[in-house]
Every structure is written in C-alpha cells, then in structure tokens.
Structure 1
Amino acid sequence: MNVIIIEDEKPSARRLQRILKNLNVHTDIMLHSVEEAVAWFQRHEHPDLIFLDIQLSDGLSFEIFEQVEIKSSIIFTTAYDEYALKAFKLNSIDYLLKPIDEEELAIAVSKYKDRVYPNQPVTLDFNDIKNLLINPLDRAYKKRFSVKVGQHLKLINIDDIECFYSQNKGTYLCTTDGRNYLLDTTLEHLENELEPALFFRVSRKFIVNINAIKDMISYSNSRLQIKLNAYSDDLVIVAREKVKDFKAWLE
C-alpha cells in the first residue's frame, strides 16, 4: 500500500507517521503545503491512500484538487469540522478530528482496506489451524507470568493481573496493587494464552480482566470507558467495533 501524509504541522505529521507504523502502514513521504503537494502530484505516481490535513500553511487542501486530478483514497485528519460535507464529496474514506485518536485511526484504515480489498482471502498459519482444532474447554490457559525485576524473576498469578496494555512498542501487565511490569510478548499472542471468560481485548491497546472492572461510562462515538480498580495511567476505551461483543462478554 502506497501512502503519503499531507500535513503542515511537522510534529503532527511525525506523530501520525508513528501511529500508522504501529498499524503496519508505512509512509516516507510527507508534504506540508498546497504548493508542495501540487508539484509532487505532477511529478509522481499518485498513492493508494492520502492522509490529508485541510488547513495547510498556504491555504486549504481542497485547492490541490482544483489543480490536479487525484483518484487516491483520502482520510482527512484535521482540527476543523466545518469542512466535513465538502470533504465527503471527494474520494473520502473518513474524517478524523485532531488530536487523532489511535482507535479511530485504526477503524479508518480498516474501512479503506475493506473498500479496496473486500474479498481478500484469509490465510492461516500452522498455529492458527492448531488453535482452531483445539476444543476451548480443553485448552490450558496461562496461570502465571514471570517478569524480570532487576536481576530477579518474579512470578505473578493470573488472578493478580488487572490488565495487559501496549505502550511505546512494549507490552506490560498491571497488577491489582497498581504495579506495572514489562513482558516479552505481544497483545496478539496474549489473546490466545488468556482464559476468554476472564480476559477481553477491548482495543488495540488493552486486554482487561473482568474482575478488575470498577465502572463503565458512555464515551464519545458510541464507545465505552472502563474504570479499573488500580490501573489509572491512561484511559481504557472499548473500541467502537468491539462494544457489542464486549457487552455480550460481560453477560
């Protein structure tokens, strides 16, 4: 997938690039003005997908389309919501307001992939097939984790874990007494190792223990915010596409 970012604020462009990299969407091209974008499109093959800010340093990004015919898909990333209607008259996938929410960005990327590759076949590796053949009632789920504390190893029982989360490309667990420990694994691997009746992956960033949930609050865009007993370093949000399954899991 060929992707570019058009954003006049370089820190915002770099942040978006980092988040996209976490979604396995890589881009090395970043443009910062209408003039620069027009010149680039006139000299290069157009990308599959554009992440486009509306208010650029030398005008509105809509001016680009007045000078160059662009057939690329577009995800708008902007601080201005008054241009949404005009944006959707173009080949727009989504319209995200700044500051960009990682979950909403992931949903937007999924929308693009579903539109462009609607019948993409699903491939399974050996471990996927093996897991499908195992009766869930017969599976042996993780009962404890070993974590490194200085030069020592410490065992943490599964009942003492409130949640698992990703941060700065690392995976951590948080215990019921509010301590955080780095793990040598990923949330993707943990999903297959944890008892599904006890743990649920509410988003790309969090897996939570049902016994650690203290409160649930309605959040923007039909999402839910979860309050845990001990963990409070970041907002724990149930992704919009997971809310229905999450509610079913609770019951």
Structure 2
Amino acid sequence: MNILLVEKDENNLKLMLQTIAENYAMAQIEHCSTNENLKTLLCSGVAFDLALCEVELVDGLIFEVFQEIHPSFPVVFMSAYDKYWSQAMIFNALDYLRKPIGREEILRVFDKYDALKNHFLKRFSADNVSKNNKSVFQKDRLIAKKGTNYYVIPTQNIAFIYTESRIVFLIDQSGERYTVERSLSDLEVELPSRDFFRVNRKFIVHINAILSFKPSFKGKIALELMHLAKAEVSISQENATQFKKWIEE
C-alpha cells in the first residue's frame, strides 16, 4: 500500500506516521509539505493508493496542483475550516477532516478505505473469475515460516492471519503459529473471498474460525475466534454490513 501524506504541521505528521505504522506495517509512505514538492511526486510515476492532504500549504492551496494533475486515487482532505469542503469533493475526496484531528479520525478513514476496497475487489472477483478457473483471487495454499523452516499451508487449514509489531502471523486450525512474508493487503486479494474476510486492518479470518459474533459498541461487531481464548476481534461499523452479507453466503 502506497500512502501519500501532504502535511506541513510536524505534530499532525507524527500522529499520522505513528497510526499508519501501527496498523499498516507494510505501507510505503511518501511525504511532502508544499505544492511544489507535491507536483514533483505526482509526476514521478509513483502509484498511490490513498492520500491524506492538508488543504492550506505554505505555497498555496492544494487544489492548485490537483486542478493541473487530477488525483487518480482517493484523497482525505484536512483543514481547520469548512469552507474548502465543496472544492475538495471534486478531487476524489474520500473524507474531509476538520483540524485538529485525532487518532480515531485517522482510523475511521482507513476503515472507510478498507470497506470500499473490499467491496470493489469482491465485485471485480465476482465479475471476472469463473467457478472453473483458478486465479489470483483463489489461492489454495500459502508458504509460511516457522523457525528456519518453510511450510506449505493449504488455505482450508488456516484459521486467521493477523499483524502484530509489523509482522504477519498465520494461525492454522490446530493453533500452530507461523509467519508469512506477505502483507495483509496482498493476502486479502489472493485468498478465496468465500472463505476469508478482512474484518479490520489487523485480521483476516476464515469462516470456520469464527466461534460466535455479536453486536458491539457504535454499530461494530465483535467476533470470538478459535485459539484466541476469550479475546474479541472487532469489525468496524463500515465493514459490518459487508460482513453480514458474507457470513450468509
């Protein structure tokens, strides 16, 4: 995942970097603080997946660059004022945050991004993958590591995959833990969508690993998974509707 941060305030930049590091450990980040540097980045050929952009930069409004180079990626705009909201909507606005922003607001827009990405990936998969053909969306095994050895793990034997301290772990149906040298974003696309669901930024779960689920705070859903004792995994409000559709398929 390639993320573009356009921010002139050091405190806001630090907050965004920390939040991204905790939740998207494999993300590649580019940062700039001026329109001049933004234009250089956009012309460099880097394909961004998402941008979080301050509207008011030291050398003018960010719209000056976006009018010349229209973003092809979703953008979260940030400003201390409401007055730029309507202008922002023209340029692939995913959200508009009023400053000062907090960690929860950043997490909320990432939840929204994940929910939309999951929706379109499923639509693309349904439209382009026939039942008789294997594809990138239907891997039937993964390579995982334990100690110095590598193992072939059939996807039907996976309970869930999660990230912790920037490492991706795989727990199989028997409770054995392995590491996987892939990002959750890549795995989300490649694993069979009928069996696996990306419940949040940190977990992809197999349907057979779900022991129970229940409504939680603010429209979220709490999952109880095998091999996690009584710990609960939370599904965001944005992903809850998709989860309910998936679980009934």
TM-score, length of structure 2 as denominator length = 0.56
Q: Tell me if structure 1 keeps the 8 A contact 2:5–2:32.
A: no
**Inter-partner Cα distance in structure 2 for 1:171 and 1:162:** 14
- Counterpart for residue 158 of structure 2: 161
Residue 226 in 1 paired to residue 230 in 2? Answer: no
SS at match of 1:185: coil
Q: Which one-letter code corresponds to 1:94 in the other structure?
A: L
1:183 Cα deviation from its structure 2 partner: 1.1
Q: Tell me if structure 1 keeps the 8 A contact 2:141–2:153.
A: yes
Q: Choose from 176, 188, 201 the match for 2:198.
A: 201
Q: 1:101 to 1:214 in 2, by over 3 A?
A: farther
Q: How many residue pairs were aligned?
A: 194
Q: Choose from 237, 242, 245 the match for 1:245.
A: 242
Q: Choose from 97, 121, 137 the match for 1:94.
A: 97
- Counterpart for residue 109 of structure 2: 105
**Inter-partner Cα distance in structure 1 for 2:112 and 2:126:** 29
Residue 45 in 1 paired to residue 60 in 2? Answer: yes
- Counterpart for residue 134 of structure 2: 139
Q: Which one-letter code corresponds to 1:45 in the other structure?
A: G
Deviations 1:13-62 (A, max 9, x none): 65146468866663355xxxxxxxxxxx78533446xxxxxxxxxxxxxx
Q: Tell me if structure 1 keeps the 8 A contact 2:139–2:191.
A: yes
Q: Which one-letter code corresponds to 1:138 in the other structure?
A: N
- Taking the TM superposition and a 5 Å limit, the aligned residue runs for 1:25-40 are 26-29=30-33
SS at match of 2:161: strand
1:101 Cα deviation from its structure 2 partner: 6.7
Q: 1:42 to 1:192 in 2, by over 3 A?
A: closer
Q: 1:234 to 1:14 in 2, by over 3 A?
A: farther
1:177 Cα deviation from its structure 2 partner: 3.7
Deviates most, 144-153 or 10-19: 10-19
**Inter-partner Cα distance in structure 1 for 2:20 and 2:190:** 31
1:148 Cα deviation from its structure 2 partner: 2.4
Q: Tell me if structure 2 keeps the 8 A contact 1:143–1:158.
A: yes
Give the CA RMSD over aligned residues.
4.5
Please, which runs of 5 or more residues in structure 2 have no aligned partner?
34-55, 64-75, 86-94, 115-119
**Inter-partner Cα distance in structure 1 for 2:156 and 2:20:** 37
Please, which runs of 5 or more residues in structure 1 have no aligned partner?
30-40, 49-72, 77-85, 111-121, 123-128
1:160 Cα deviation from its structure 2 partner: 2.8
SS at match of 1:196: coil
Deviations 1:204-235 (A, max 9, x none): 33211111112213233322121101136985
Q: 1:130 to 1:213 in 2, by over 3 A?
A: closer
**Inter-partner Cα distance in structure 1 for 2:219 and 2:17:** 28
**Inter-partner Cα distance in structure 2 for 1:217 and 1:16:** 27
Q: Choose from 176, 184, 190 the match for 2:187.
A: 190
Q: Which has the larger radius of gyration?
A: 1
**Inter-partner Cα distance in structure 2 for 1:222 and 1:241:** 9
- Counterpart for residue 67 of structure 1: none
TM-score, length of structure 1 as denominator length = 0.56
Q: Tell me if structure 1 keeps the 8 A contact 2:26–2:183.
A: no
- Counterpart for residue 89 of structure 2: none
**Inter-partner Cα distance in structure 1 for 2:57 and 2:195:** 55
**Inter-partner Cα distance in structure 2 for 1:42 and 1:152:** 50
